A and B are shown apart, each in its own frame.
Chain A
Amino acid sequence: MKSKIVLFILGLFVWLLLSWPADGQDFFQHLLVGILVAGFVAFMTGDMFTSRPKHFIQFRRYVWFFYYLPMFIWECIKANIDVIIRIIRPDLPINPGIVKVKTSLKSDTGLTFLANSITLTPGTLSVDIDKERGFLYVHWIDVKDKDVERATSIIVERFERILRRIFE
């Protein structure tokens, strides 16, 4: 039931953004249709949405999330400039390979966000997840270290520290 309420609020929010009233005249009609549609969707598929709806109320998770966002954008811009320099040099300075890193995150959402962050940051692309043993297989465009521990400390740890506080 709580999961359904969370999905209802999220759906209504996205609906209101999509049907943003430019001059504010049809606002109540949009709101009424949005409540009907979001209620229907939440009633049908609400139970699959999240297994721990309590996490949506805790305020400190949002604070950590807004701390995580600018760091992520900065890493993303650094990654792009790095990749562009690699592309336009005539000798193509790449040294690729697939390495294995360890992670201690357990929840599905946390693992998904970790894989997305790894994909959008310097030189790395997550290929597969071994969820039972907690391993991530990462394609790295410039392999600095083949060892599991040291690769983990280079790739994963700066995100994992924050993502644990958000999603676990």
Chain B
Amino acid sequence: MNETIGIILIGIGLTFDFFGCLGLVRLPDVYNRLQASTKCVTLGTCSILFGVFLMLGPTAAGIKSLLCIIFLVLTAPVSAHAIARGAHRSGVKLWKGSVVDRYAEDKEGGL
């Protein structure tokens, strides 16, 4: 039973991973790519790790995969945030179809 649920979770995770990387190729600009890839790949890899935990049970490797989930959920959004801020400060423009950019307006007003 646990093995079946684990295999299903691993399959869901692989699907999310693959579509996240497809978004990395298809979307037009750094920020959109960051959105798609960070969300999909983080949830997909967490799903794979939880499936591995269900298949292995509470052994050493299973508990370590649970810890790895905690580390990933805490660190992946922070690195996405850092890359987005660095890209905006280094002068990468938004995609030409973008609607509004309050950050650039406020930075020009403030500085």
A–B contact at 8 Å CB threshold (below): yes
Known: A20-B64, A125-B34. A95 touches B59 (CB 8 A): no
CB distance from A132 to the nearest CB of B (A): 11
Task: Say whether, besides A88-B19, A96-B31, A143-B100, A125 and B63 are in contact (CB < 8 Å).
Answer: no
Judge whether B103 and A98 touch: CB under 8 Å. yes
Determine which of A96, A119, A143 lies in contact with B95 in the assembled complex, contact meaning CB atoms within 8 Å. A96
Give the docked Cα–Cα distance between A126 and B74 (Å).
Answer: 15
- Say yes or no: A87 contacts B84, CB within 8 Å: no
Candidates A18, A21, A87, A100; contact of B22 at CB < 8 Å: A87
Contact B19 A115 (CB under 8 A): no
Interface residue tally of chain B, by bracket? Answer: 35 or more
Query: Provided the pairs A22-B59, A96-B31, A119-B38 are in contact, do residues A139 and B84 lie with their beta carbons within 8 angstroms?
Result: yes
Q: How far is the CA of A144 from the CA of B106 in the complex (A)?
A: 20
Given A83-B39, A115-B77, A137-B102, 9 other A-B residues pairs in contact with their CB atoms under 8 A: A20-B60, A20-B64, A80-B16, A95-B99, A96-B29, A97-B94, A126-B84, A127-B88, A128-B88
Give chain A's interface residues, CB within 8 Å of chain B: 14, 17-18, 20-22, 76-77, 79-80, 83-84, 86-88, 92, 94-100, 112, 115-116, 119-120, 123-128, 130, 137, 139, 141, 143, 146
